[in-house]
Amino acid sequence: EPGLYIVATPIGNLADITLRAIAVLGGCAVVACEDTRVTGKLLKHLGIKARLQRLDDHAPPEVRARLIDMARGAPVALVSDAGTPLISDPGYRLVREAREAGVNVVTIPGACAAIAGLAMSGLPSDRFLFAGFLPVKDKAREDVLSGLAGVGGTLVFYETAPRLERSLRAIAALWPAREVAVARELTKLHEECRSGSAAKLADHYAAHPPKGEIVLLVGPPAAEDQPVADPDALLRAALTEASPS
Ligand code: SAM
């Protein structure tokens, strides 16, 4: 079937590729990817030969237009270096433009570090907000964090090893009582998930500098310090309950 296939690839353990992903990658005319070397290795491991086209969100519009044109007549795959394309990875423009052009867009779901980390963290998973990478600069990081203070759900960030401790210190300063989790090297040999206060985790990683890839999660605020959405409605409800019927 012609179309644009968004194909998730493993985030570490190469066995985490779906049967559908293998079938689609094996049958497509071209694979759009972030880094042809990284995707070349994966395809080689799977025994698949396919034409690779480098694509990132800075690629000139002609590159996307050509891929979309091809996808009208043949299956075209979009992958990223690891995990689900578009999730802190390129592809948003391509998918948007393909949909606008009326091209068939198909999703082949699979590994995603944010979801894998959330699932194993032990933090509330019924509501969460994925906020991508935190800014590098202290002030910008603080601004982003304080902007998320009122979110009544678990916050999920991507983080890098060298920046983890500073981010944890910033979280500790803002939310000393919240439970935090660090999910590291998911699906790989040294997979670990540690939780505790941000200050405790910052001390741990200061003493044991982390390596590898990291998902940083912050539990929701305690119910009593959440801002009240509509005080009038709450007051009316309380009065109705209290009044004799
Ligand atoms: N699209 C990818 C996905 O679906 O997970 C994420 C791409 S983003 C550029 C890369 C970041 O994802 C890393 O810096 C890290 O924060 C997180 N990540 C990727 N693989 C990971 C893993 N195996 N364990 C923990 N975090 C991971």
Between 57 and 125, the more confident residue is 125
Q: Residue 243: is its pLDDT beyond 70?
A: no
Scan for tokens 């194993």, then name that residue.
120
The pLDDT of residue 93: 95
Task: Compute the C-alpha angle 145/204/131, nearest 5°.
Answer: 25
The pLDDT of residue 245: 47
Q: Which letter, b or e, does each residue of 163-198 get, where b requires 16 or more Cβ atoms within 10 Å of its Cβ?
A: bbbebbbbbbeebeebbbbbbbbbbeeeeebebebb
The alpha carbon of 136 and the centre of ligand 1 are apart by a number of angstroms equal to: 17
Residue from 14, 34, 88, 164 to probe ligand 1 pocket by mutation (most atoms less than 8 Å from CB): 88
Q: Which letter, b or e, does each residue of 117-127 get, where b requires 16 or more Cβ atoms within 10 Å of its Cβ?
A: bbebbebeeee
Atom of ligand 1 nearest to the CA of 185: 24
- Percent of the chain at pLDDT > 90 equals 88
What sign does the CA torsion over 110, 161, 127, 131 have?
negative
The alpha carbon of 157 and the centre of ligand 1 are apart by a number of angstroms equal to: 10
**Which of 176-180, 219-223, 237-241 has the lowest average pLDDT?**
237-241
* Model confidence band, residue 222 (pLDDT cutoffs 50, 70, 90): confident
Residue from 33, 80, 214, 217 to probe ligand 1 pocket by mutation (most atoms less than 8 Å from CB): 214
**What rounded mean pLDDT belongs to the chain?**
94
Of the candidates 14, 43, 18, 47, the residue with the CA atom closest to the CA atom of residue 31 = 43
Nearest C-alpha to atom 8 of ligand 1 is from which residue?
A: 88
User: What six digits make up the tokens of 77?
Assistant: 């795959």
The alpha carbon of 234 and the centre of ligand 1 are apart by a number of angstroms equal to: 41
Q: Residue 132: is its pLDDT beyond 90?
A: yes
Q: Residue 52: is its pLDDT beyond 80?
A: yes
Q: Residue 230: is its pLDDT beyond 80?
A: no
Contact 108, 6 (CB under 8 A): yes
Cα–Cα distance for residue pair 66/82, rounded to 1 Å: 24
Nearest C-alpha to atom 23 of ligand 1 is from which residue?
A: 186
Q: How many CB atoms lie within 10 A of CB 47?
A: 8
The pLDDT of residue 244: 56
Mean pLDDT over 43-61 rounds to: 93
Instruction: Render pLDDT for 166-213 as a digit per residue (tens, 0 to 9).
Output: 999 999 999 999 999 999 999 999 999 999 999 999 999 999 999 999
Report the pocket of ligand 1 as residue ranges, CB < 6 Å.
11-12, 80, 82-84, 87-89, 112-114, 158-160, 183-188, 213-215
Of the candidates 17, 23, 65, 59, the residue with the CA atom closest to the CA atom of residue 41 = 17
197 CB-side CA count, 13 A: 10
The alpha carbon of 11 and the centre of ligand 1 are apart by a number of angstroms equal to: 7
CA–CA distances in Å: residue 80 to residues 40, 182, 194, 210: 11, 23, 27, 24
Atom of ligand 1 nearest to the CA of 12: 23
Note the pTM of the prediction, 2 decimals: 0.91
The pLDDT of residue 228: 56
First to last CA, the chain: 64
Atom of ligand 1 nearest to the CA of 111: 4
Instruction: Render pLDDT for 54-99 as a digit per residue (tens, 0 to 9).
Output: 998 788 999 999 999 999 999 999 999 999 999 999 999 999 999 9
Q: Which letter, b or e, does each residue of 54-78 get, where b requires 16 or more Cβ atoms within 10 Å of its Cβ?
A: ebeeebeeebbeebbebbeeebbbb
Cα–Cα distance for residue pair 116/101, rounded to 1 Å: 33
DSSP one-letter code for 225: G
Atom of ligand 1 nearest to the CA of 160: 14
Contact 39, 20 (CB under 8 A): no
